[in-house]
């Protein structure tokens, strides 16, 4: 069950296709983990990267700054809601989450309010694989039991979506506010923790409770950011402005590793001081890498001049039409669609193992046999294609999901 076949060898990408060394060409249903929103090898991003490569691939960001980072910070501030306007650039989503958590904790420290070092987060959440990020993940997903003693002890609650869980959340925030720096959450859609959805009213409720108890709110939009849920940022649908937002994944249009934590004026001002000990204690070597920033600027240009959000709306409608009927198949627990993401949750079977009990390897193999790149995890088969996908290619993905789920349900796919 835990054996996994060797990875397929990718030799090239183009548009919505991944080319393998055996000559096959797979239609990509994953956007390479949420990243390739404009499809692969977009000529405009490539051209901008070549320009930046010729001029300055990298320079340190301590004591020096550069236009790609300054312009990107300004453009992100213009696009983000409210006064989210001070950017800290790093190289991966996990590190952006670490930085956001440090910012929140040090914000309170700098005001002399000691002891506010814990975080509240949610079951089903995923925030990355470094140690602080892991500590706010779902306890199973984040392997909290295995790493007891290594991970900080956080307060992890059910998503407050009904009266009982809302009461539980309010009560926990009231009780722990004195020791909590911030609430950390993925708005509207929890991604790698299981593709679970909640409504905008839940995000608003969380913001209100945080405000009532002077607890900061970090929205982790590393997966949801840049259009995936239908608006450029998911928080727009909730009309909520967090104190800090984290972005990565589609930030560079799926080309280079770059992430950012963006804070509001209030958070930023909490670090303005003549005392060097009050500066934000973080400075990665490749901070604000100019190539990454150039790719992100090119990606933002594409969002500005190509109809990405309209494409997401079309994908959403086609996913709804195509995947909803699968809910009738025996063993299918639920079909969930939000923006350019569609997930089919399957019954994990009688003996869930680390993979949740599904014959993941057999499912994945069947997908590549059908000429598509779809990678189920846990108990979820999901599609999150590049936004530029044609309706013909999207239908190929949807039909493949239908065929594989049917085969699994009929017992044709075993571990
Ligand atoms: C992927 C992800 C991360 C971690 O990003 P990495 O670049 O893999 O470190 C954090 N939060 C969310 C919501 C993610 O989807």
Range of lowest pLDDT (39-48, 338-347, 357-366): 357-366
- CA-to-CA distance for 219 and 185, rounded, in angstroms? 5
For residue 415, the model assigns a pLDDT of 64
Q: Could you tell which of 222, 254, 261 is best to mutate to test the pocket of ligand 1, judged by most ligand atoms within 8 Å of the CB?
A: 222
For residue 414, the model assigns a pLDDT of 74
Q: How far is the CA of 310 from the centre of ligand 1 (A)?
A: 25
Q: Is the pLDDT confidence value at 354 over 50?
A: no
Does the beta carbon of 126 lie inside 6 Å of ligand 1?
yes
The values of phi and psi at residue 272, to 5°, are -80, 110
- Higher pLDDT, residue 270 or 351: 270
pLDDT tens digits, residue range 305-335? 999 999 999 999 999 999 999 999 999 999 9
Q: How far is the CA of 12 from the centre of ligand 1 (A)?
A: 24
pLDDT tens digits, residue range 168-213? 999 999 999 999 999 999 999 999 999 999 999 999 999 999 999 9
Does the beta carbon of 97 lie inside 6 Å of ligand 1?
yes
Q: Could you tell which of 98, 126, 142, 194 is best to mutate to test the pocket of ligand 1, judged by most ligand atoms within 8 Å of the CB?
A: 126
Q: Are strands 372-373 and 25-28 parallel, antiparallel or unpaired?
A: parallel
- CA-to-CA distance for 99 and 287, rounded, in angstroms? 12
For residue 249, the model assigns a pLDDT of 98
The values of phi and psi at residue 170, to 5°, are -60, -45
Using CA positions, which residue lies closest to atom 15 of ligand 1? 223
Decide: helix, strand or coil at residue 339.
coil
Q: Are strands 17-20 and 25-28 parallel, antiparallel or unpaired?
A: antiparallel
pLDDT band for position 356 (50/70/90)?
Answer: low
Q: How far is the CA of 248 from the centre of ligand 1 (A)?
A: 7
Helix (H) or strand (E) holding 122: strand 118-122
Q: Is the pLDDT confidence value at 353 over 80?
A: no
- CA-to-CA distance for 110 and 148, rounded, in angstroms? 30
Average pLDDT score over the chain: 95
For residue 413, the model assigns a pLDDT of 85
Does the beta carbon of 37 lie inside 6 Å of ligand 1?
no
Decide: helix, strand or coil at residue 69.
helix
Q: How far is the CA of 286 from the centre of ligand 1 (A)?
A: 18
Quick one: which of 54, 109, 34 has its CA closest to 259? Answer: 34
Q: How far is the CA of 302 from the centre of ligand 1 (A)?
A: 23
Does the beta carbon of 135 lie inside 6 Å of ligand 1?
no
Decide: helix, strand or coil at residue 103.
helix
Q: What share of the chain is helix, strand, coil (3-state, %, to 5)?
A: 40, 20, 40
Does the beta carbon of 196 lie inside 6 Å of ligand 1?
no
Using CA positions, which residue lies closest to atom 3 of ligand 1? 128
Q: 282, 99 in Cβ contact below 8 A?
A: yes
């Amino acid at each position: 069950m835990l054996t996994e076949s060797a990875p397929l060898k990718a030799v090239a990408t183009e548009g919505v296709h991944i080319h393998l060394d055996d000559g096959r060409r797979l239609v990509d249903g994953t956007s390479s983990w949420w990243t390739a929103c404009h499809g692969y090898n977009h000529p405009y991003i490539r051209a901008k990267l070549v320009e930046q490569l010729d001029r300055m691939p990298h320079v340190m960001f301590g004591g020096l700054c550069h236009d790609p980072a300054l312009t990107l910070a300004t453009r992100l501030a213009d696009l983000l809601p409210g006064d989210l306007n001070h950017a800290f650039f790093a190289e991966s989503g996990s590190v952006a989450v670490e930085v956001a958590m440090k910012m929140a904790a040090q914000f309170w420290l700098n005001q002399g309010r000691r002891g506010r070092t814990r975080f509240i987060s949610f079951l089903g959440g995923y925030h990355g694989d470094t140690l602080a990020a892991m500590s706010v993940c779902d306890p199973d997903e984040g392997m909290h039991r295995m790493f007891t003693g290594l991970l900080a002890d956080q307060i992890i609650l059910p998503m407050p979506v009904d009266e009982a869980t809302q009461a539980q959340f309010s009560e926990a925030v009231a009780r722990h506010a004195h020791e909590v720096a911030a609430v950390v959450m993925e708005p509207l859609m929890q991604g790698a923790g299981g593709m679970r959805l909640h409504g905008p009213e839940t995000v608003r409720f969380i913001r209100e409770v945080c405000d009532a108890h002077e607890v900061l709110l970090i929205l982790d939009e590393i997966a949801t950011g840049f259009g995936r849920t239908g608006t450029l940022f998911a928080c727009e649908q909730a009309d909520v402005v967090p104190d800090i937002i984290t972005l990565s994944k589609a930030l560079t249009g799926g080309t280079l590793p770059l992430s950012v934590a963006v804070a509001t004026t209030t958070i930023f001002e909490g670090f303005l001081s003549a005392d060097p000990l009050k500066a934000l204690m973080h400075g990665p070597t490749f901070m604000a890498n100019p190539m990454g920033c150039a790719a992100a600027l090119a990606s933002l240009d594409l969002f500005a001049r190509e109809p990405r959000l309209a494409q997401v709306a079309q994908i959403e409608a086609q996913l709804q039409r195509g995947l909803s009927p699968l809910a009738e198949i025996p063993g299918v627990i639920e079909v969930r669609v939000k923006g350019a993401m569609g997930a089919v949750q399957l019954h994990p079977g009688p003996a869930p193992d680390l993979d949740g009990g599904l014959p993941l390897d057999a499912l994945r193999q069947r997908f590549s046999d059908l000429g598509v790149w779809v990678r189920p995890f846990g108990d979820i088969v999901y599609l999150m294609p590049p936004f530029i996908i044609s309706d013909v290619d999207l239908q190929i993905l949807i039909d493949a999901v239908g065929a594989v789920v049917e085969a699994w349900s009929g017992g044709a796919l075993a571990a």
